[in-house]
Amino acid sequence: MATPVRLLVSSGEPAGIGPELTIRLAQQRQPFSFAVIADPVLLQQRAAMLNLPLQMHLVAVDEPWPTSSPGQLNVIAVPLAKTSAAGMLENANADYVLRMLTIAGHAALNHNVDAIVTAPVHKGVINEAGVAFQGHTEFFAELAGNVPVLMLLACEGLRVALLTTHMPLRAVADAVTPEKLEHTLRLLHRELQQKFAISSPRIAVLGLNPHAGEGGHMGREEIDVIQPVVARLQAEGMTLLGPLSADTAFTDDHRRRYDAVLAMYHDQGLPVLKTLGFHRSVNITLGLPFIRTSVDHGTALDIAARGIADTGSLQYACEQAVLLANASR
């Protein structure tokens, strides 16, 4: 019998819904072994607020974890700097969040776990604490030695990768360069082959401008940057479609024609994916030397500890991590 996949779950921003999502994850028997990185006192407090049973086993990253029954949770203990109240951000706990991510990243790099899954963090509170932080994707890329990475979000029937991620919209056009586009398409093509076992990936490349530039009347990025790169890689044998107009690329008929979409910027592709699969979609970081998946939502401070947070995305992120881990064994 195969050894169950070991997942390490970071509980995210302590004032948000991350801690309670991990508690809810432990309320059902899971087909994988997992441990949560968190402050045990915080978890006990949230469990009491939610009126959920919680028996914790304090464990270490590099040791075997006991098999958990519903209501039991393996915990890698990290103490908060300051007591956290649900919905109330506290800059003093920024280092707590970063310590959790560091532990998770090193555990994956050292092969102590098969994959890591991350609950949402609050970028603003980390930056206000004096730490330059763009997001999980960039953090783990740096931790792994500044490896090139790519953000991919996926739900049933759709995968969307992002050429640019967390930057102001006015900076996007300058960031769409031939070098960046070619590198990103090569990385996406390789990872679809290696991680998703798609031998000949079909990738849709969106245009930057409305109607993909309308022949240059609404912008020339498609003509000057995107088309030449697409043509060059097509000549090498890649199956690329585009540049496509983003307003029609996501229709049912079009989505059946490709395995992934490369969007030029964050809000070009993700609103569609989240509309189609919110609570059942996952964020996957491609290019890392380990598997990392995440939820598709934020910290939801306004509903923290109210008992109404949906666990669907965390559950799906764990399931997808297991699939990727099994495929790499």
Rg of the chain's alpha carbons, rounded to an integer? Answer: 20
Residue 136, marked binder: yes
Neighbours of 272 (CB within 10 A): 19
Does 164 count as an annotated binding residue?
no
* 211 assigned binding-site residue: yes
Question: Distance (Å, rounded) from C-alpha 324 to C-alpha 314?
Answer: 15
40 in Cβ contact with 3 (< 8 Å): no
Asked whether residue 202 is marked as a ligand-binding residue, the answer is no
- Residue 119 CA: distances (Å) to CA of 294, 311, 325: 6, 11, 19
Buried b (16+ CB within 10 A) or exposed e, 279-301: bbbbbbbbbbebbbbbbbbebbe
Q: Confirm or deny that 297 is annotated as ligand binding.
A: no
Among residues 207, 186, 196, the alpha carbon closest in space to that of 249 is found at: 207
Any binding-site annotation on 137?
Answer: yes
Is 292 among the annotated ligand-binding positions? yes
Contact 15, 38 (CB under 8 A): no
Whether the CA torsion 257, 258, 264, 265 is positive or negative: it is: positive
Q: State yes or no: 306 annotated in a binding site.
A: no
Q: What is the DSSP string of 13-66?
A: -TTSSHHHHHHHHTTS--SSEEEEEE-HHHHHHHHHHHT---EEEE--TTSPPP
Please enumerate, by residue number, every residue annotated as part of a binding site: 136-137, 166, 211, 266, 274, 283, 292
Please enumerate, by residue number, every residue annotated as part of a binding site for substrate: 136-137, 274, 283, 292
Please enumerate, by residue number, every residue annotated as part of a binding site for a divalent metal cation: 166, 211, 266
